[in-house]
Amino acid sequence: MKMQHKPQFMTQLYIDGRWVDGTLGRRIVVINPATETHLADVAAGSAHDVDLAVASANRAFRTWKQTTGAERARFLYAIAQEVDVRRERLAMLQSLNNGKPQAEAHIDVDDVIATFRYYAQLAESLDDISGEDVNIPSTEHRVRICREPSGVAALIVPWNFPMVTTAWKLAPALAAGCTVILKPSEITPLPELELADIVASVGLPQGVFNLVTGTGVDVGAPLAAHPNVAKVSFTGSTGVGQTVMKIAADTVKGVSLELGGKSSIIVFDDADLDLAVDLVAAGGFFNAGQMCSATSRVLVARRLAADLLAKLIERAAQIVVGDPFAPGVSMGPLASRSQFERVLGHIKQGIADGARLVTGGGRPVGVPEQGFFIEPTIFADVPPGCALWRDEIFGPVLCVRVFDTEQEAIDIANDSQYGLVATIVTRNEVRSERVARALEAGVVWINAPQLIFPQASWGGYKRSSIGRELGPFGLAAFQEIKQVLTLRHANQLS
């Protein structure tokens, strides 16, 4: 797709039902990671803008929490419909601002639509305000559990899946009856701002949805610390998530964290080799490896190791890296210069630590001099204690290790501070179920690509997550639980 003219972008903050410039008048420069050219100057919010947004959301919550689930569902359906109408523009913005190939960008748009529709359906089931009766060992009392919206929710989302991670938070928050302030990444605000324009266009009451762009220091931290924010839902790096949690602790607010991963794909000796190659390549190179769910640690049974590695090297050579709008391109650039330099630094350090580089490791041949492109990279014989094996790289880098027994594979996979996802490749159904139960991961795929359905759950063990997103768990993340106990005869009229 060739851009014939520079498209127009939303660049302001959205507070209290209006598009406004930040109170300090500062701007954030947004660039195209494939060309390093200027795209837009977006308003940079401040702590004062956060105060205005929270005040707006707090006012709106008084009435929004009283709406029925059916009323909220109508708004969610309308958002999904308008996303569908604007799908080509949204996919274009994903590729332009994040660097995703168009095929991946369209997958993201479909995910957003599916998520809003699912939570619209879930919202329709929330109209029984009397609560759920609980069986108790007393005939004189009645106990009910009522689920109520948490309040004002701060949604802080990353740059690797703009709009998708937003939908995973925004749809259930609105369905639950919360009002929100969204803080998108300053690296990829353009698709998020277009999504905000969609949300604003469906007629939500003033203040129910607000958006403040800006840095983590200027916007994210004030949101996490704000006394009138009841809930913070954050997706990003583990280090920043720890900071968010510490800040939120001062006001003892609810916190959900979706953080890092260093996940394994285990290829057993009876695996379908071609299927294994497909799953390994997708798990490591989709979105240029910029996924918390990247299965970048490849554990392969010794008998298949040489064949798998040879086929992976061949597959890596077939991946076309370049302009995300160009036909045939299957991997775009990394999203920013800082990430580009970080990944190159990890590759360099891995070589210094004794890992064997078998393919890639640098800039692809044939791409322009500008743009944050790194070729698909594979290491073998990676020392288990080195950073390349233990740290989240967030780039197109695979690390391959051999195992001899099932238990050894499980032990290696679980030897991590993270526990987000895992993949198992085997023809043995009994073994696949046994290993899936033994793995310390929140999501396990068996002989399957990384499909994520909004009806299921998302999140991990250990330092990967606190709480869960998607499914009914995502809705529960924005609800408070209230017990109501009634003495039966006291309510009887005399």
Report pLDDT digits (tens) over 250-290. 999 999 999 999 999 999 999 999 999 999 999 999 999 99
Instruction: Give the C-alpha distances (Å, rounded to integers) separating 425 from 98, 177, 266, 410, 475.
Output: 31, 41, 6, 13, 32
Whether pLDDT at 4 is above 80: no
Whether pLDDT at 392 is above 60: yes
pLDDT score of 491: 62
- Alpha carbon distance 393, 262 (integer Å): 8
Which residues are registered as beta bridge partners of 15?
18
Region 408-431 average pLDDT: 98
Active-site residue among 178, 292, 386, 399? 292
**Residue 155 and residue 231 in contact, taking contact as beta carbons nearer than 8 Å:** no
Using pLDDT thresholds of 50, 70 and 90, give the confidence band for residue 6: low
pLDDT score of 493: 55
Q: Which helix (H) or strand (E) holds 426?
A: none
Domain 264-446: which CATH number of 3.30.390.50, 3.30.300.20, 2.40.50.220, 3.40.309.10: 3.40.309.10
- Domain segments of the chain as ranges: 13-259+464-482, 264-446
| Burial of residue 53, with CB atoms counted within 10 A of its CB: 0-12 exposed, 13-18 middle, 19 or more buried | buried
Mean pLDDT, the chain, integer = 96
pLDDT digits (tens, 9 = 90+) for 203-221: 999 999 999 999 999 999 9
Nearest to 132 by CA among 122, 142, 121, 124: 142
Region 357-367 average pLDDT: 96
What's the predicted TM-score (pTM) here?
0.96
CA dihedral of 9, 13, 17, 23, whole degrees rounded to 10:
-140
Is 146 assigned a catalytic role? no
Region 348-371 average pLDDT: 96
**Residue 389 and residue 409 in contact, taking contact as beta carbons nearer than 8 Å:** no
pLDDT digits (tens, 9 = 90+) for 78-135: 999 999 999 999 999 999 999 999 999 999 999 999 999 999 999 998 877 778 999 9
Determine whether domain 13-259+464-482 maps to CATH 1.10.260.40.
no
- Alpha carbon distance 402, 305 (integer Å): 7
10 Cβ contact partners less than 8 Å away, ≥ 6 residues apart? 19, 190, 193, 194, 196, 197
Please name the residue that has the structure tokens 């794909």: 265
pLDDT score of 3: 43
Region 464-470 average pLDDT: 98
- Alpha carbon distance 214, 291 (integer Å): 22
Whether pLDDT at 462 is above 50: yes
Active-site residue among 124, 258, 406, 469? 258
pLDDT score of 127: 76
Beta strands in 322-370 (DSSP E): 356-359
Q: Show the tokens assigned to 389.
A: 């094996």
